[in-house]
Structure 1
């Protein structure tokens, strides 16, 4: 896809940029535009009524009452950004350069889609049963705070990253916790079996029960019924079985979507429609580094991508987005970090004993590091991220010695 100019023909600095989505990706796009010298109008539309806030604390500090919120420390007025909250966008008409909202149309010269992702709900209407919660918004977290404070029996559906983080918070609050996972192990969709297997023991160590090969058949008041007939007491049920790009409002717009409803952006984060960009959880992008299209649902992607979008809107120097993906998770007293993309690796090297408190795993392709998972080893992560960026060949024998700095394995 080639760069598109505004249909209005207005010079870059006079164009009107509208950003849909007031999460990390949307806010950082507005900030980056000003930092890179854009002087035109910038409008940020948020569907929620709250001041824009960061999401990671929702599964930790906000839930446990250690923080009232996580609003971004951004002075929108000083930046000259018009902030319109509680305004949900329902459609896009690219031919008219207009968005549809209940309050009326919103014109744009350049549009940035940053609507993030929305949680997947339990099938068959179970997600609408009383006492069933999702954890995506500030309102979700506020509804769950009294559940933890009253130390209910809690059933968590899904042993992915968000399920583990919520189970951690619930145990810290003193709740009895059962985690139900349809797959044979936690993080089944994120990590290979041999890597995720040691993490299964973390649940029991923390006093949480992990039930794998288990599916929810139905939810009754105070009870979760599994497909094998097991009845689990549940004062509350928290569903964490994944998220999908929040792009249903783009139906009929002509913007090309992928198999997961994600916006298919190009290497500059432009969409298939002129004057429209997409950034963050709602989109995917082609990675030259990994030779495939990536869809990254993590905080760092929403932080880094906006700089590329802003650079291409300002238009001084074309920018290409090809990051080393990164994320972290705090669960069961462990700090887990991951950088890169391990799909397509042809060798795996362990550094340390996974039964211990600190260890890491490196994935190689053609002798170069492509991904690293670090548990309690932030130095391995930091050095590994730089090595992935450099593409330097590594000596697997040296790499396997956990006593050696990871960077010393460069061949």
Structure 2
């Protein structure tokens, strides 16, 4: 991927995507001193908004909108809501309604779309504000809700549904909550949180399909359900890029270089829809979390304005579930050493992953100080003294061995 020339004052920048990454890209251009034309295109009929509150405050009825508190008019950013990107040619973005929007520089920030589960047509998906508002109207006391998937979104939605008085069952095909993200031994600890909240959790259970008023499992079990929500992950929303010349990986993520430039000159990408090279991880990463959208959105603006700084932050994610704050930073593999900081019997705990005693990842439950220190230690590839690191009374930063 060759070096792309910096923007000049006559260029028109178009950002496709009204989520965090797209909003940060547009905001970052203005904060970086760019005064040329900026247009922000979103496929939803709403002003750019934040997604994490959808499974929390919006479902709980505490908020009807999560729009960013940004004065777009004052910034001189043109908003085009309710316009879906359907194609791309060099210098020309194609929108639904046969609209063609010329650009000199483009940012792709269309995020990810939730995966549907075959046989569950008609089930709810939770991705947009309208999804959350529609589901909220249905989550009334006594409603029988079946959630398919015990991942992050499933746990958050189950938490809220119980608070609203619903009878909740969560079905997970894996052996424990958060399969693929965490070792089964850690996921099994979280299974107790479901029981404590009065939620029925069925792991190792595959869904065969839906019928009126019920979810059918592969083993023949019939679960009564007034409403069904599917939360089994998401894939990059990049189908509209077919034939554009933009290189994608097998999952559909946009391949970018270390400065978030795509294979098409004048086009960058940020957020959930990207695959970027991570020197610290030694591989490409596709990260579908809020912090990545925030950071990559700002980084893509800096790149467009000429920054040579490579994009390679410590991945970070957080989730509020069952009255707990769960945070994860870094990236671990099965080969890394898992080190407990405290014990699983504690009300709050942290686990660390070490690679030749270098901290590469951390998971904390209600121990934000541990996690904040871990992020800095991971960023510096810090070697730890395992004995001191395992003592929760010792500040994690004080366990550094070098």
TM-score by length of 2: 0.97
Separation in structure 2 between the aligned mates of residue 100 and residue 222 of structure 1, nearest angstrom: 39
Mapping of residues 367-378 of structure 1, within 5 Å? 367-378=357-368
Separation in structure 2 between the aligned mates of residue 340 and residue 98 of structure 1, nearest angstrom: 36
How far has the Cα of 1:98 moved from its partner?
3.7
Confirm whether residue 296 of structure 1 aligns to residue 287 of structure 2.
yes
How far has the Cα of 1:31 moved from its partner?
0.3
How far has the Cα of 1:344 moved from its partner?
6.6
What do residues 298-329 of structure 1 show as CA deviations (whole Å, max 9, x unaligned)? 000010012221112112x3221000011100
Partner of 1:381: 371
How far has the Cα of 1:394 moved from its partner?
0.7
The answer as to whether partners of 1:245 and 1:281 remain within 8 angstroms in 2 is yes
Name which of structure 1's ranges 146-155 and 114-123 shifts more when overlaid on structure 2: 146-155
Partner of 2:310: 320
Separation in structure 1 between the aligned mates of residue 353 and residue 9 of structure 2, nearest angstrom: 44
Partner of 1:63: 59
Separation in structure 1 between the aligned mates of residue 283 and residue 223 of structure 2, nearest angstrom: 42
Say which of 312, 321, 325 aligns to 1:335: 325
Partner of 1:149: 140
Mapping of residues 272-283 of structure 1, within 5 Å? 272-283=263-274
Confirm whether residue 2 of structure 1 aligns to residue 22 of structure 2.
no
Say which of 109, 112, 121 aligns to 1:117: 112
The answer as to whether partners of 2:272 and 2:293 remain within 8 angstroms in 1 is yes
Say which of 37, 42, 52 aligns to 2:33: 37
The answer as to whether partners of 1:359 and 1:376 remain within 8 angstroms in 2 is yes
Query: Displaced runs of 4+ in structure 1, greater than 4 A?
Result: none
Separation in structure 2 between the aligned mates of residue 98 and residue 139 of structure 1, nearest angstrom: 26
Mapping of residues 118-197 of structure 1, within 5 Å? 118-124=113-119, 126-127=120-121, 129=122, 132-197=123-188
How far has the Cα of 1:356 moved from its partner?
2.6
The residue matched to 2:201 in structure 1 has which SS?
A: strand
The answer as to whether partners of 2:83 and 2:95 remain within 8 angstroms in 1 is no
How far has the Cα of 1:103 moved from its partner?
4.3
The residue matched to 2:99 in structure 1 has which SS?
A: coil
Separation in structure 2 between the aligned mates of residue 121 and residue 153 of structure 1, nearest angstrom: 21
Partner of 2:209: 218
Say which of 73, 80, 83 aligns to 1:84: 80
Separation in structure 1 between the aligned mates of residue 206 and residue 56 of structure 2, nearest angstrom: 26
Structure 1: segments with no counterpart, 5+ residues: none
Separation in structure 2 between the aligned mates of residue 135 and residue 346 of structure 1, nearest angstrom: 33
How far has the Cα of 1:345 moved from its partner?
5.4
Structure 2: segments with no counterpart, 5+ residues: none
Separation in structure 2 between the aligned mates of residue 83 and residue 240 of structure 1, nearest angstrom: 30
How far has the Cα of 1:74 moved from its partner?
0.5
Separation in structure 1 between the aligned mates of residue 95 and residue 369 of structure 2, nearest angstrom: 48
Confirm whether residue 365 of structure 1 aligns to residue 360 of structure 2.
no
Partner of 2:94: 99
Separation in structure 1 between the aligned mates of residue 89 and residue 358 of structure 2, nearest angstrom: 45
The residue matched to 1:349 in structure 2 has which SS?
A: strand
